[in-house]
Amino acid sequence: MQGAARQSLTERASGADPSLDGKGPLFGQIKRAVAGQILRGRWQAGERLPNEEQLSSLYGVSRQTVHKAIALLAREGFLVRRRRAGTFVASVRNDRFALPIEDIGDVIARSGGVYEFRILDRKTLRNGEAIRWPDVPDGTPLLSLECLHLSDGAPIQFERRLVNLDAVPEVADEPFDSVAPSRWLVNQVPWSSAEHTVKAVNAAADIAALLGVEPGTACLSIRRQTVHLNRSITLVHFLSVGERFSLSGSSITDSATELNL
């Protein structure tokens, strides 16, 4: 269906482009062709590609189309481009391990468990009084929450959270009797950047008691700070029993997906 319709676009007489597969838009075909050369190792790291002019005559398309394909590949990290110097195969792909940011309730529900949460503690205070959140000015009103997440009745994650009441004043009126704080915040407050730290810790006695495990049990500790409009929104610390909780994710380059590599 695609192939036939495409020919009517511009009946290019030659069409002798052995490397293009004829599927989908031209710029996508170019992307696949070039990414294929790289992923299959034919164009080695650091090598210089033909320039846009050469590629355009090689593939029989206009420079704009080549430019779009190559610029996208550069944006995806396969290529590095320097004016006047040319286009090079990226020597190091600065790949990233991507983990989805999900509400734990969703995760539990999806895995078939029954999700519950309990608010263990809730108070408002000012920064610097009992707790200091370094990235927020002293004296800023904060909401402090402690919360336990359960799957099928078993404690699975302990959450300690600070919310900047200057940035999100509405949260003060929210009872959190049906919606968990994390979900409420995700739905309510957009964020523009988040920082995470993940480490492993041995459970202290009080946390262990809450989570129903022996003191010293390995727990995954996730600290997340969310920022929006130059203001810190929330600082949250999750502690989860190692046995019952893990993070997982995959990194797949778009081009690899297209190529079925």
Interface residue list for DNA (CB under 7 A): 1-2, 5-6, 8-10, 12, 25-28, 49, 51-53, 61-65, 67-68, 70-71, 74, 81-87
Q: Which does 219 bind (CB under 5 to 8 A by kind): DNA, a second copy, none?
A: a second copy
Q: Which of 3, 7, 10, 40 binds a second copy (CB under 8 A)?
A: 40
Residue type, 124: T
In whole angstroms, the minimum distance from the beta carbon of 191 to a second copy comes to 8
Rounded Cα gap, residues 107 and 99, in angstroms? 13
Q: Which residues contact 181 (CB under 8 A, 6 or more apart)?
A: 119, 145, 147, 159, 161, 163, 171
Q: Which residues contact 244 (CB under 8 A, 6 or more apart)?
A: 151, 154, 156
In whole angstroms, the minimum distance from the beta carbon of 250 to a second copy comes to 4
Does 99 contact a second copy by CB under 8 A?
Answer: yes
For residue 41, give Cα distances in angstroms to 32, 81, 245, 261: 14, 19, 38, 13
Q: Which does 28 bind (CB under 5 to 8 A by kind): DNA, a second copy, none?
A: DNA
Q: Which of 198, 204, 205, 209 binds a second copy (CB under 8 A)?
A: 198
Give a three-class secondary structure readout of 111-153: CCCCEEEEEEEEEEEECCCCCCCCCCCCCCEEEEEEEEEEECC
Q: Which does 99 bind (CB under 5 to 8 A by kind): a second copy, DNA, none?
A: a second copy
Tokens representing 61?
A: 């398309």
Rounded Cα gap, residues 119 and 65, in angstroms? 56
Does 204 contact a second copy by CB under 8 A?
Answer: no
Q: Which of 39, 58, 74, 107 binds a second copy (CB under 8 A)?
A: 39
Nearer to a second copy, 122 or 223 (CB): 223
Q: Which residues bind a second copy (CB under 8 A)?
A: 38-41, 92-101, 186, 190, 192-202, 216-221, 228-230, 240, 242, 245-253, 256-257, 259-261
